[in-house]
Amino acid sequence: MLTRSLDTTAAVLLITGGCLLTILWWIAHVPAQPAAREQVAAQVRDDGAYRNRRFGGRGGSGFRPRRVPARDEFPQWQNAPGFEQDAFTFVRIQYDSYGPFGWWDRWDNDYPDGDWNFSYRLQQMTSLRVDPDGRVLRFSDPDLFRYPFIYLAGVQTMRLSETEHVALRRYLLNGGFMMVDDFWSARAWENLQAEMRQVFPDREPRELSLDHPIFHQVYDLDELPQVVDFKTWSDGFTFEHAHGSSGGDHAPHFWAYYDDRGTVVALLCHNNDIGDGWEREAENEAYFREFSEKRSYPLGINVVTYALTH
């Protein structure tokens, strides 16, 4: 019943019978051929109800807003009664960081706007049932094993405990998928590698090239996507230098960890801020056109699709 078997000590199944129905139902509705990115643009632009709230939204300075938005400021929907356990849930991981650090070095960077916007677009542009609210969990939370996909952002200064290292390893080797986003600079990559060596001392990440299926799962990407945050783009830059020195490397890199079956279980999006394309889609039309509809949403949907079908 599972895409990958669980170890005997797992307290909670990663994918329950209800979620398996979601996966099978999802597979039946995924397009037979990858779609072009232009289809994302058309679907998003034609959504009249949602575009009324776009362009000129809050947080124009580019810095973390002081006010946490209310849920009713974003689209809401309801899944059919009885299908509460048969919906995809976007799960963000809360972690500890060491300082000093900026607003971009926190677990809640781009939260909750990015999570809610992506969940909305996912249910809008696919046949997948999606939980409108998502969840925030720590690696030590037993509920982690109920969800097949987790997302982390701003991990430049992340520090995990031994308990969290063990929990993450069990999660990834027993059916879970992790997407790590919004970390730039050589120092950030070194820090993340150090943490992942505690999770996988016996595995090394491999860099993905454009021909990997994850870039063509639903939407057919013709280049490795790179997204910068709204302020960086507004200031005329193509690299988020606030995170630290690039070391001369400004290119996007997608690093992957594999399980014993050769399936990607963790995708590390270095020199990228995919989530800002979700969070900031309402603030500027040109930014929305260039990053949200062309890169952030197509890649996000591809990654979730891969996670649920492999």
Digit-coded pLDDT (tens) for 148-203? 999 999 999 999 999 999 999 999 999 999 999 999 989 999 999 999 999 999 99
Model confidence over 109-137: pLDDT tens digits?
889 999 999 999 999 999 999 999 999 99
Neighbours of 180 (CB within 10 A): 23
pLDDT band at 37 (very low <50, low <70, confident <90, very high): low
Q: What is the pLDDT of residue 101?
A: 56
pTM of the full structure: 0.82
82 versus 112: the higher-pLDDT residue is 112
Q: What is the pLDDT of residue 25?
A: 34
Task: Specify the CATH number for 17-61+71-309; select among 1.10.645.10, 3.40.50.12140, 1.10.3300.10, 3.40.50.300.
Answer: 3.40.50.12140
**What stretch of H or E contains 150?**
strand 149-153
Taking 80 as the threshold, does the pLDDT of residue 40 lie above it? no
> Residue ranges of the domains in the chain?
17-61+71-309
Structure tokens at 139: 């690696």
